[in-house]
Amino acid sequence: MLAVRPQMRSTGDAMTLPDLDALLHDRFHLERFRPHQREVCEAVTRGEDSLLVMPTGGGKSLCYQLPGLARQQEDPRRGGVLVISPLIALMEDQCQKLIANGIAADRIHSGRARSDSQNALKRWLDGELEFLILAPERLRVPGFVPRLMQRPPNLIAVDEAHCISMWGHDFRPDYRLLGERLPELRAGGTPTIALTATATVRVQNDIVAQLGIPDANRFIRGFRRDNLAVEMVDMPPGARMEKVADILRDPERLPAIAYVPSRVKVDELVAVLGKSVRADGYHAGMSADRRTQVQDKFQEGKLDVVVATVAFGMGVDKADIRTVLHLGLPGSIESYYQEIGRAGRDGKPSYAITLWSSADRHLHTHFFDRAYPALSVLERLHGQVPATGIARDTLLHKSGLELQVAEAALEKLWGQLAVSLDLEDVVRPRPETTNWSVAYTKQRLHREAQIGEVFTFARATGCRMQALVRYFGDLGDARTACGRCDHCAPEHSIVRRTHAPDGIERRLLARILAAVPRRAMGTAKLHREEFAEVMDRKTFDRLLGALDRAGLVELSEDAFENQTGQTIRYATVKLTPGALNDGDDWLAGLQIEAEHKDSAALSRGKAKPVRRTKAAPATQSDGDPDVIDRLKTWRLGRARAQGVPAFVVLRDATLLELATRLPQTMGELLQVPGIGAHKAETYGAELLAEMRTSRGA
């Protein structure tokens, strides 16, 4: 039973809040609020809609948990807190932490047995639960919301709210439809709080619009990390692993997380680091038990370093991580900030070191083109959907597009509400959305711009932390320089080294400047090929970067689409007033970043790059038709149960790969393209059972 505390009472225009400090101590066993928590808790307890953007580790969860308990204490006739979250792992983690504090909580998601979910709903309706955590797809199951509302919640919390925005770095079209369900849940004036660790101003605006809470309080807090030294170093891929090993030989830089771009790189770096520190890998191709084992060992201090893909980190609550390294640039500043934010949560000095080069863009461009097909591709597919509708399989196979491209295009059409999907049928909505192509073009350009923003951030002059605070629009920040990053304190940089230009470099710098128009607003496209006779590409990039950091030129990115629809990117250069001043001291203080050699390339001489060929994706003819049909029947049942289109469960390309490979273990299942950790966790046992049936086991 809850302890009886003073209730909220209205006194004229004022309102007396419950004793939040007492609740904090009694229910969560905490002595005090963390910075910024109290103001949020008080607003939500008063029943005010709110948006909270606070970095990972800042204590967001308490900002709905404590007000929810306070509001239920104020009016026990109402239900508890309804939490909506798109990630099963986080739902499980939140639920277990609440239960550990003696708080009655349960969850409903597709990874649980039907009987367990039914029991959780019954406990909610019987008034036994203070918190019910839901996956968003449950709200689309016919009849679920009316039954849930037999005991209305006192507060609705939308976790990972950035997933609802098409401008966010982890946009999920099925989560965007949540806005359609909220009015019924909010009947009677139930307040809503949306929470996320990262959201730009544009994403913040979209979140409150999609959730129907345009007047919500906005708490954008805590993005400055005064103890975190951010460093960005231009370094070729072949030199990065040995450099990381060198960095982590210092015990003061441990424990550490090293993020790499692929599963293969995980194993390679673990082998290199294993010679001097306790290191292990973590990626979505590992079994769930193996991933849990690695995470637990790291939490317990039995590992010094975890080498991981972006699959690692969600739910990691380890305060003493000293270093976060990136061997390559992330795909967005949002994801980058989330990952470096795992360092130094104990407030002690920590490091965020990124080793990058222009070569990283090729990988990002590859992923971008796969995820966001050209508008002409979407228009072509949309034009093949008759007003009366068409079977999804028929549309995909008559489209003339590669299956993976067609599925990506159909998913984007659905996300823009240009088509509606009823399990296996595709229909144009009536009245038909007329502006979907404009919206998609904006979304595609925005996502492409996010990639460019990371590269701009890596090359930029100025305080790194100040740039991050400005990017997220932290309203309470003083916007002062951090004094710790590679710009503010270059003498303390761990990897980055610079030197004054010698005579040859001075002449080359002058030649670059001479190629830029002298007009104050004049810009130019400088092609490296124009300087090929006097300097190689890397030298050109280092010298241009030095001019940029010294404030003598201003670099920006632009792009155009050629006749084939391919996006061609290029940089433009503009002289600044400092370079336009005639004088002999224009190079005074300029420092050139030292060149980092590709150790792997040096060890094998001038070897030609090895071409790696990827296995061709499976086609309809590769898999057993009976297995494909059985998998589609299973998928249809899953889609009906979840109330979502079939492709949200698994895409056709993934079903074909399953029918071709017939995986028999969780490890083999995770090697199938399209099966990540989340899909394996949710559907793994059922899919392996289907595979055993297919092999006659």
660, pLDDT greater than 60? yes
Strand partners, 53: 196, 220
Please tell me whether residues 137 and 196 are part of one structural domain: yes
Instruction: Provide the percentage of residues in the chain whose pLDDT is more than 70.
Output: 83
Please tell me whether residues 37 and 169 are part of one structural domain: yes
Top-confidence residue, 364 or 48: 48
Please tell me whether residues 342 and 461 are part of one structural domain: yes
Domain boundary among 200, 220, 240: 220
Q: In this predicted structure, what is the pLDDT of residue 241? A: 94
Q: How open is the CA angle 326-331-333, to the nearest 5 degrees?
A: 80
Please tell me whether residues 502 and 488 are part of one structural domain: no
Average pLDDT over residues 186-199: 88
Top-confidence residue, 581 or 155: 155
Q: In this predicted structure, what is the pLDDT of residue 6? A: 34
600, pLDDT greater than 80? no
Q: Which residues contact 503 (CB under 8 A, 6 or more apart)?
A: none
Q: In this predicted structure, what is the pLDDT of residue 605? A: 45
In-domain check, residue 391: no
In-domain check, residue 397: no
In-domain check, residue 379: no
Domain boundary among 220, 249, 283: 220
Q: In this predicted structure, what is the pLDDT of residue 614? A: 44
555, pLDDT greater than 80? no
Mean pLDDT rounded to a whole number for the chain: 81
Average pLDDT over residues 93-102: 90
pTM: 0.69
Average pLDDT over residues 490-503: 85
C-alpha to C-alpha distances, 168 to 427, 454, 480, 597, 652, nearest whole angstrom = 27, 14, 27, 36, 26
Top-confidence residue, 584 or 692: 692
Strand partners, 228: 350
- Domain residue limits at 357: 228-363+449-492
In-domain check, residue 655: yes
Please tell me whether residues 91 and 196 are part of one structural domain: yes
In-domain check, residue 439: no
Give kind and range of the element (H or E) at residue 527: none
Q: How far apart are CA 235 and CA 243, in angstroms?
A: 10
In-domain check, residue 384: no
SS3 per residue for 290-320: HHHHHHHHHHCCCCCEEEECCCCCCCCCCCC
Which of 48-57, 286-295, 563-572 shows the highest mean pLDDT?
A: 48-57
Looking up tokens 């299956």, which residue turns up?
403
Check which CATH number belongs to the domain holding 564 and give it: 1.10.10
16, pLDDT greater than 60? no
Please tell me whether residues 232 and 330 are part of one structural domain: yes
| pLDDT-wise least confident of 182-186, 208-212, 453-457, 598-602 | 598-602
Q: In this predicted structure, what is the pLDDT of residue 607? A: 39
Please tell me whether residues 568 and 679 are part of one structural domain: no
| Number of domains observed in the structure of the chain | 4
Instruction: Provide the percentage of residues in the chain whose pLDDT is more than 90.
Output: 26
Please tell me whether residues 509 and 562 are part of one structural domain: yes
350, pLDDT greater than 70? yes
Please tell me whether residues 246 and 353 are part of one structural domain: yes
Domain boundary among 569, 593, 617: 593
Please tell me whether residues 207 and 291 are part of one structural domain: no
Top-confidence residue, 548 or 156: 156
In-domain check, residue 50: yes
Q: How far apart are CA 532 and CA 514, in angstroms?
A: 16
Q: What pLDDT, in 10s, does the model give residues 566-587?
A: 445 556 777 877 666 655 566 7
Give kind and range of the element (H or E) at residue 259: strand 256-259
550, pLDDT greater than 60? yes
Question: Residue 672, SS3?
Answer: coil
628, pLDDT greater than 60? yes
Q: In this predicted structure, what is the pLDDT of residue 681? A: 66
Average pLDDT over residues 226-236: 92
User: Is residue 243 very low, low, confident or very high in pLDDT (cuts 50, 70, 90)?
Assistant: very high
User: Is residue 437 very low, low, confident or very high in pLDDT (cuts 50, 70, 90)?
Assistant: confident
User: Is residue 608 very low, low, confident or very high in pLDDT (cuts 50, 70, 90)?
Assistant: very low
646, pLDDT greater than 70? yes
Looking up tokens 């796969």, which residue turns up?
370
Q: In this predicted structure, what is the pLDDT of residue 371? A: 84
Check which CATH number belongs to the domain holding 202 and give it: 3.40.50.300
Helix ranges (H only) for 347-473 are: 360-371, 375-383, 392-398, 403-415, 436-459, 464-472
Please tell me whether residues 205 and 126 are part of one structural domain: yes
Please tell me whether residues 45 and 179 are part of one structural domain: yes
Q: Which residues contact 646 (CB under 8 A, 6 or more apart)?
A: 392, 421, 423, 424, 632, 635, 636, 639
| pLDDT-wise least confident of 217-221, 309-313, 483-487 | 309-313
